Chains A and B, each alone.
Chain A
Amino acid sequence: MRNVNTPQNRAVERSQLLKGVLDLAVLAVVAEQDAYGYDVVRKLRTYGLNDVAEASVYGTLRRLFSTGYLSSYVVPSEEGPHRKYYGMTAIGREWLVEQQSQWIDFRNVIDAIIKNDEGVS
């Protein structure tokens, strides 16, 4: 029987799980404090999302900006190219609260299912 529990498969599964909640995670990080792209990546990794792809986060930031959930501003740097910072908008904060609530409900449902499944096995 083929071994499906390889590190590669686990990474793919994690990335699939992450896809659905990356918007929420990115917004939550920016809600703490305004941040530039790699700053967001670094904070997500600090929380344990080590395998998050940098470029996916940058793309997500652009999309959240274009939908109006984030604002952005440029901070010039004397050492090199400018940094593009992102901050929350009012509509972004509303959406974050809504998403947090949905996530908690969803997580409770999944937790209940998993616990029940553990009891069966």
Chain B
Amino acid sequence: MSNISDHLKVAAVFAESVRRELRHLPADAVADLTDGLESDIASSLLDGVKLADPAEYATDLLRGAGLSVDKQSTGGRSVVSENYDRILAAFAKAKTFTTGLAPAWWLTRAWVVTQVLGWVLNDSDDTRVLVGQWGEEKILGVAVFIAVLYLSVVLGRREVKKSRLRNVITLSVVVAGAFLTTGQFQPGSNQGFSYSASPVTLPCGLVPNFVGLSVMEMKNMQESGAVSYAIEYYDKETTANMTQTIWNQPATDFRKLIVVEQENPSQMSCTTPVILYVEEGAVATTTVPVQTSSTIASQLSTTTSSVVSRVVSTTSSVAKQVNRTTTSLSR
């Protein structure tokens, strides 16, 4: 390592590893324990100190702070949250597995339909099992099977397309609803939007493109619950993790700090934090939205417009992607 910038990068990565080791704790406890950690680690690196194992480091940190090192008993995110993550992972796994079985199902149902047709159209023979119901007319049976198989596959693909489209629509509504119900819009207001008033704060969601927004706007959205997934801020130039700094200071301090780059926009975020790179830019002209229904129409801020336009843009780009996928499937 030759300079402070390199040390800061290493320190940022190491601090994140330590935070991951502490993820069983409530977020505020982790923030409290690791605030300023990057600069301390960078200083020790400058002195030539070798970094310890992050897990061991986290344990020392907990012991020093007088906290339990037992991950099961330290509350906060704890067992409920971890079990929720496990259920989501198991569900995703099961869904992938069953999706993979779809062609086998299409084949099976085609074969069953062919045999049932053969049994209905030919003379019934109770001595024969279902297999080979076309008797002497085997060639006709094969032709019917091919035709039924074709229909079965076409039907199956339509079901997949519908399922994907349904998922995209559901997600789009949820994400749009999450932004629209943060107090910036109200049900029934004359904004030309309609959305579900059902609960929208989910642990994960479709990530819109935040590039161009100020950190102040981002922080306001996070605090209002509009963005419920984890977001991490990094300095574009030094790649230093600024997440803690941003959380510990008022949102208005970050008017000039603009999101200039984002990792994985338009992707699902459940357990992986959204990474935003920020740097000093022009002063953001937006204001914090006032959350009273009487002033909604007049105080429709640039923030709201830009966020909604990004959500709509993200939604439409995803819809286009689905269309392309379904078109290619149909071919």
For A53, list chain B residues within 8 Å (CB).
Answer: 52, 60, 64
A36, CB-defined interface residue at 8 Å: yes
**Chain A proximity mask over B1-32: 1 for CB below 8 Å, otherwise 0:** 00011001001100000100000000000001
Contact, CB under 8 Å: B49 / A59: no
User: At the interface with chain B, which of A3-11, A72-80, A90-98, A111-119?
Assistant: A72-80
For A22, list chain B residues within 8 Å (CB).
Answer: 64
Neighbour of B40 across the interface among A58, A60, A74, CB < 8 A: A58
The residues in B between 11 and 66 inclusive whose CB is less than 8 angstroms from any CB of A are 11-12, 18, 32-33, 35-44, 47, 49, 52, 57-66
Neighbour of A36 across the interface among B39, B60, B65, CB < 8 A: B39
For A56, list chain B residues within 8 Å (CB).
Answer: 60-61, 63-64
Neighbour of B39 across the interface among A42, A59, A83, CB < 8 A: A83
For A77, list chain B residues within 8 Å (CB).
Answer: 39
Rounded to whole angstroms, the CA-CA distance of A57 and B40 in the bound complex is 11
Range for the number of chain B residues in contact with chain A? 35 or more
Contact, CB under 8 Å: B36 / A59: no
Contact, CB under 8 Å: A81 / B47: no
**Chain A proximity mask over B50-85: 1 for CB below 8 Å, otherwise 0:** 001000011111111111000000000000000000
B245, CB-defined interface residue at 8 Å: yes
For B248, list chain A residues within 8 Å (CB).
Answer: 74
Contact, CB under 8 Å: A60 / B44: no
The residues in B between 154 and 200 inclusive whose CB is less than 8 angstroms from any CB of A are none
B240, CB-defined interface residue at 8 Å: yes
A105, CB-defined interface residue at 8 Å: no
**Chain B proximity mask over A50-76: 1 for CB below 8 Å, otherwise 0:** 000111111111110000000000100
Nearest A residue to B37 via CB reads A58
Contact, CB under 8 Å: A62 / B32: yes
Rounded to whole angstroms, the CA-CA distance of A22 and B59 in the bound complex is 16
A87, CB-defined interface residue at 8 Å: no
B241, CB-defined interface residue at 8 Å: yes
Rounded to whole angstroms, the CA-CA distance of A42 and B196 in the bound complex is 57
> What are some 11 contacts across the A-B interface (CB < 8 A)?
A37-B36, A37-B37, A42-B43, A55-B64, A58-B33, A59-B66, A62-B64, A81-B11, A81-B242, A83-B36, A83-B40
Residues of B within 8 A of A (CB): 4-5, 8, 11-12, 18, 32-33, 35-44, 47, 49, 52, 57-67, 235, 238, 240-242, 245, 248
Known: A39-B43, A80-B4. 20 other contacts (CB 8 A): A36-B40, A37-B37, A38-B40, A38-B43, A41-B44, A53-B52, A54-B49, A55-B18, A55-B64, A56-B60, A56-B61, A59-B61, A59-B65, A62-B65, A63-B64, A77-B39, A79-B8, A81-B36, A83-B39, A84-B35
